[in-house]
């Protein structure tokens, strides 16, 4: 049976506890959240009165206000949210921004609901948690099935309830309400900056590197385009319906046009189960199931969609030498061990996808100070943060002869513990 999300996180923490020789009290900082808040939202949606479970896990704020998204999802549970809150604390410490870790959500399915119904739930959440949030206390952001518009609604309700003007309470907002340019591409661009730092350090040539991307949502599609523009050869792309692969190379922008029409990637070549064999042959393309890209002949694999997709079995079949984790937790703890033995480098999620929270921090900071930044300024500052974070993680890994994941977790743990001692 697969481990639950928090057990996967704990497996990484246990390695760090042993490496750093942490005491039980020190280890507790990374295994027990500061606070778990559970509430029931009584709302009328779809013309029916409903009671929805809502929660916020405030994991650790030793380095700054709790930071993390709010998700609307029928399958969201406290185990998952607790894991993501803990990972956020680690992530912020890895890139050395002064924020802590939090996460929250509402257990319901927003699909098919009207905008007024979703606004009702959004305002109910903001009212219920108003005393638990704040620019110097806990700063939420968009997550699964939430967006900038929902953050704007929550901010409006929060300010009504508290009688304050506090745009820094939520990030990921529309630009006109204090949002920041560059947030839309930040996760992917941050990952690209880290990969470029890795490639440079190892003396590799991007034009000789073949990349396959699992997941063609915002992060995956943006990363594909950014890497294509930088000369990397994109040899595989997948979404939830299937994979498209070609040793000759693929232009991700052509597939983005297909996705913009609400079609799947394989629709470029297939209608249902019937594919245009002539077109596939002319373009040297092979179609397959979504996970086919994970084991294909490529130098770099970028899981950018789901957690837990690289299992023991997949790890044994992989041909890549580098994995860039744009998704949260795409490699299981057990697969980590197999990949390490096989000499496959993992650039871990707590570093690789930290561009999003880094730019959210920039937004929070500009709201606090009353300043603004251009997209160019945001991207340049993001590059500096991610490159510096990579250098720190890489140096720590070399000094201790450990994987990049263990180095990232250990470096973050040391920073969080140092801050915890300072606060006492």
201 and 138 within one domain: no
- In DSSP terms, 243 is beta-bridged to 238, 288
159 and 98 within one domain: yes
List per-block mean pLDDT (blocks of 10 residues) for the chain, which spans 424 residues.
79 96 96 97 93 96 97 89 95 98 95 94 98 98 94 98 97 97 96 98 96 96 98 97 96 93 92 91 94 97 94 97 96 95 98 98 97 97 98 98 98 96 68
Predicted TM-score (pTM) of the model is 0.95
Stated as kind and residue range, the H or E segment containing 275 is strand 274-275
Q: b/e map of 346-366 (b: 16 or more CB within 10 Å)?
A: bbbbbbbbbbbbbbbbbbbbb
Cα(154)–Cα(358) distance, rounded to whole angstroms? 21
268 and 212 within one domain: yes
Cα(367)–Cα(65) distance, rounded to whole angstroms? 14
Number of alpha carbons in the 13 Å side-chain half-sphere of residue 203: 0
Q: Is 103 a catalytic residue?
A: yes
- Catalytic member of 67, 82, 103, 233: 103
pLDDT at position 112: 86
Contacts of 181 (CB under 8 A, 6+ apart): 175, 373, 374, 375, 378
Q: How many domains does the chain have?
A: 2
Q: Which CATH number fits the domain that encloses residue 144?
A: 3.40.50.10860
| Two structure tokens written together for 413 | 């743990």
Q: Which CATH number fits the domain that encloses residue 326?
A: 3.40.50.720
Q: What residues make up the domain containing 273?
A: 186-347
Cα(102)–Cα(138) distance, rounded to whole angstroms? 8
Beta carbons of 179 and 150 less than 8 angstroms apart: no
């Amino acid at each position: 049976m697969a481990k639950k999300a928090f057990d996967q996180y704990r497996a990484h923490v246990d390695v760090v506890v042993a490496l750093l020789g942490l005491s039980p009290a020190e280890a507790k900082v990374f295994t027990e959240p500061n606070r778990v808040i559970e509430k029931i939202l009584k709302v009328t949606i779809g013309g029916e009165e409903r009671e929805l479970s809502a929660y916020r896990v405030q994991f650790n704020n030793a380095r700054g206000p709790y930071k993390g998204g709010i998700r609307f999802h029928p399958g969201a549970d406290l185990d998952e949210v607790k894991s993501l809150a803990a990972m956020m604390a680690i992530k912020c410490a890895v890139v050395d921004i002064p924020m802590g870790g939090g996460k929250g959500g509402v257990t319901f399915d927003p699909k098919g609901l009207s905008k007024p119904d979703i606004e009702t739930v959004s305002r109910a959440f903001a009212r219920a948690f108003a005393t638990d949030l704040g620019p110097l206390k806990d700063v939420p952001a968009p997550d699964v099935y939430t967006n900038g518009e929902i953050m704007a609604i929550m901010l409006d309700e929060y300010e009504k309830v508290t009688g304050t003007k506090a745009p820094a309470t939520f990030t990921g907002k529309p630009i006109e309400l204090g949002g920041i340019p560059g947030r839309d591409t930040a996760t992917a661009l941050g990952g690209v900056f880290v990969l470029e730092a890795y490639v440079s350090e190892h003396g590799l040539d991007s034009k000789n590197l073949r990349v396959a991307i699992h997941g063609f949502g915002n992060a995956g599609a943006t990363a594909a385009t950014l890497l294509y523009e930088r000369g990397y050869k994109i040899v595989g792309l997948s979404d939830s319906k299937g994979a498209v692969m070609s040793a000759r190379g693929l232009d991700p922008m052509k597939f983005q046009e297909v996705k913009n029409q609400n079609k799947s990637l394989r629709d470029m070549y297939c209608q249902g189960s019937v594919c245009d064999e002539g077109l596939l042959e002319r373009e040297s393309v092979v179609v397959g199931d979504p996970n086919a890209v994970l084991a294909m002949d490529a130098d770099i694999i970028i899981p950018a969609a789901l957690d837990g997709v690289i299992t023991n079995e997949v790890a044994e079949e992989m041909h890549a030498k580098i994995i860039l984790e744009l998704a949260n937790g795409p490699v299981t703890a057990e697969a980590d061990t197999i990949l390490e033995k096989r000499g496959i480098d993992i650039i871990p999620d707590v570093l690789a996808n930290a561009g999003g929270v880094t730019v959210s921090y920039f937004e929070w900071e500009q709201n606090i100070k009353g300043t603004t930044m251009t997209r160019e300024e945001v991207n340049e500052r993001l590059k500096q943060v991610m490159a510096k974070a990579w250098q720190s993680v890489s140096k720590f890994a070399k000094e201790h002869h450990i994987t990049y994941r263990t180095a990232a977790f250990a470096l973050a743990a040391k920073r969080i513990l140092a801050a915890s001692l300072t606060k006492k």
